[in-house]
Chains A and B, each alone.
Chain A
Amino acid sequence: MAKGVRMENIWKIFMPKVIALKNINVDIRPGEFFVILGPSGSGKTTLLRIIAGLEIPTRGRVVIGDQVVVDADKGVFVEPRDRNIGMVFQNWALYPHMTAYDNIAFPLRIKKLPREEIDKRVREVAEALGIAELLDRKPAHMSGGQQQRVAVARALVKQPDVLLLDEPFSNLDARIRVTAREFVKEIQKKLGITTILVTHDQADAFAVGDRVMVLRNGEMQQLGVPEELYGEPANVFIANFIGDPPMNIYKLSIDHPMVKQLGVLEEINEDYKEVYIGIRPDEAVALPLNEEGHLTGTVTIVEYVGSRRYAKLDLGNSISMRTLLECRADHGDKVRIRVYKLHIFAPDGKRIRTLTLVH
C-alpha cells in the first residue's frame, strides 16, 4: 500500500554551525512521484536520509502513513529497518561480495522469508527490470546502468511503502540516462509506490516528477508541478535555476528605458527603485525590423540548440539577451524583439507578477 510522507518543521543543524535544513514542511501524497531539486549542498541528501532514518532531525517530525517515525521534540525514533523503505543510494551501494541475486534477495533473507518465496520474488522483480540474465554476476562485472537496475530491484523487492532515490541518474552517461528515467517512471506508475527522488538536474526532475520541490541552502524555494516552476517562478533564484537555456534576468532601475518600453511600470503597485525583469529565451523572438515588437537589438551570435535557433543580441547599454531567432539574420544585423512573457521580481528577489504581453 502506498503511504504518504509528511514532514513538519524539519530543521537539521550539523554541529557546530552548518544549517543543512531550515524549517521544511511538505506533504507528499500516497503514490506520488515527488522530486527534490536543488544545487549541490542544498540539503537534498540530508532530507532523504532523515526520511530513511539514517539521520535524525534537530527539530521537527516525519510521519509516514499514519505512523510518526521521528519526532525530535518528543524523542520518538523508529529505526530504518522498521520503516519499510526502499532506498537507492547515489553510488548504488551494492554489496560487492554478493551476486546480483544475493543483493536483491538480501532484504528478504533478513526478513527470514521461506526460500521458495524469496526465489519467486527475486526472479519476478529481476524479470520486470530486465536483469534476469545478470543474476549470477557480481557488481564489479556490471555496467553502471545494470548496477542501477539491481539497486532499484533490491529497493523494490520488499514492496516498500516509500521508495527513496538519491541522484539515481547522475552516475550514468547521457544516453542511458534518458532510458533510465523512463524506466524508473514506468515502474513507479505501474507499482504506484510513493517515490521521492533527489536530483540537481532539472531535466531529471521534470522528466519524472509529479511535483517538484526546489531547495536552496536548506530552504524550500517553491513547490509545484513542473509547469508552475517554469511558468511562475517564485523568485529570481528559481527563475535562473530552471529553464534551459537560462532566463535573461536584469536588475534595472525604475527609470531605465527598457522598463518603460516593456510597460512594466503600470503593473507594479509599490514604490520600488529597482526591479528584476526576466525574459525566457523561449518566450521572446527576434524578428525582422519591419515587424512589431518591444525592443530592438543587434545580433552578435547565432546558435543552434537541437532544432531551434537562438540569437544572442546586443541591446545597447551593455545589455545582452538571448531569444529565439525566427528570421534570416546574421552577425551585425539589426532585429526587432517581440516579448511574449515577462517575469517581474521585487528587489528582494520575490516574484511580483508574470505578464503575458502578446497572445
Chain B
Amino acid sequence: MKKLFKYRRTGLIGSPYKILVLNIVAWVIGVLWITPFIGIFMTSIKPFREVVLHGWWTISPFTFTLKNYVDALFNPMFSLSRGILNSFIIAIPSTVIPVTVAALTAYGFARFSLPIKKYLFATILFLMAVPQQMTIIPIFFLSKNLSLLNTYLGLILVHSSWGIPWITFFLRNYFSLLPVELEEAARVDGATDFQVFRKVVLPLAIPGIISASVLQFAWVWNDFFFALMLIFDPDKMVVTQMLPRLKGQYQVDWGLLSSGSVIAMLAPLLVYAFFNKYYMSGFRGWAMKR
C-alpha cells in the first residue's frame, strides 16, 4: 500500500560540484526575480518627495510612511478597495466553476472508455495552445449578443471556459496516477460511480485539486487582458484595471502606483502561502512515475 504512494525522488543527486552549480543558478534566478519587487516595495513605503529627489533605490534618506497605502486604498477617484472586492467577486467563481467541471471531465477521461476519447482529448490539448488575442473578438461579440458585456457573469464565464481545458489536462494526469484498485474496492463495496468519485477519488486528489485551484485563482486575479476588453464600468473594474489609473493625470505618482501593485499582489501571494503544503505535494504527485 505504501509503495503506491511513494513519490519519485527529484532531489539533488550527484557530485558536490553539481550541487554548487545548481545552487548558484537557483540563487541568481531567485535574486533576479525578487529584485524588482524589493524596489517596488521600497518605493511604496517612502514619501513621494524622496523618490523624486533621490531615486527609488536609496537607503538614506529613508522616511517610513504608510501614506501611499492609505491613499491607494481609499482614493476617491479610483478606489482600489473596490477593485479588490471586484477581483474577488470574479476570481472565486472563476476558480470554483472550472475546477469542478474539469474534475468531473478529467475523471471521465482518466477512467471511462469513450469511442472518440483520444480525439476529444487531443482537441483539449489543441485548445490550450490558442492565444487569448485570437479569441477575443469572437468572445467580445458573443458577450455582446448575450448581453453579458460589462457584467461580472460574462467575465466569470470567459475565465471559466478558459480554465477548463488546462485543468482537465492537469487533473486527468493526476487521476490516472491514483491506484485503480481503490476505486474497484469501492465499487464492490456498493458505491455508484459518482460515490466512488466523491468518497474515494476526490479526497485522494486533494493536493492536485488545490494545485489547480491556486494556479487558476492566481491566473484570473492577474489577468488584465480579458477584464480590459469585457468590463468598462469603473464600479465593476478589477484590481489590475484600477492600477494603471493610479498613475495620476499630470504626473506619475510612483508611491501610489507601487503601493497599489503591492496590494494587488497580496491576494495570490497569500493563497500560495496558505496552500503551499498541498500545492507542493500536488506537483510532486504530478511527477510520480507511471
Contacts and interface: CB of A to CB of B under 8 A. Distances in A.
A190 interface: no
For the residues of B in contact with A, the DSSP-based class is helix
A54 B1 contact: no
A93 B181 contact: yes
Given A81-B192, A140-B2, A147-B1, A93 B179 contact: yes
A340 interface: no
B184 interface: yes
B184 A97 contact: no
A91 B5 CA distance: 13
Contact of B185 (A87, A111, A147): A87
A139 B200 contact: no
Interface in A41-55: 52-54
B101 interface: no
A139 B181 contact: no
Given A54-B184, A110-B195, A140-B2, A96 B189 contact: no
A44 to B, nearest CB: 16
B226 to A, nearest CB: 37
Interface in A104-148: 106-107, 110-111, 139-140, 147
Nearest to B4: A91
Contact of B181 (A83, A85, A89, A106): A89
A154 B1 contact: no
B182 A81 contact: no
A158 interface: yes
A79 B184 CA distance: 12
Contacts of B200: 95
A87 B188 CA distance: 7
Contacts of B203: 97
A321 B279 CA distance: 64
Nearest to A52: B188
B92 interface: no
Contacts of A111: 190
A96 B204 contact: yes
B72 to A, nearest CB: 44
Given A110-B190, A158-B190, A89 B5 contact: no
B189 A158 contact: yes
B144 interface: no
B18 interface: no
A85 B1 contact: no
A92 B184 contact: no
Contact of B182 (A54, A83, A95): A95
A80 B187 contact: yes
A96 B5 contact: yes
**Residue with the greatest number of chain B CB neighbours at <10 A, chosen from A79, A81, A94, A140:** A81
A111 B192 CA distance: 11
B176 to A, nearest CB: 17
A140 B1 contact: yes
B186 interface: yes
Interface of A: 52-54, 79-81, 83, 85-87, 89, 91-97, 106-107, 110-111, 139-140, 147, 154, 158
**CB-based closest 6 A-B pairs:** A93-B181, A93-B185, A107-B189, A110-B190, A81-B190, A87-B188
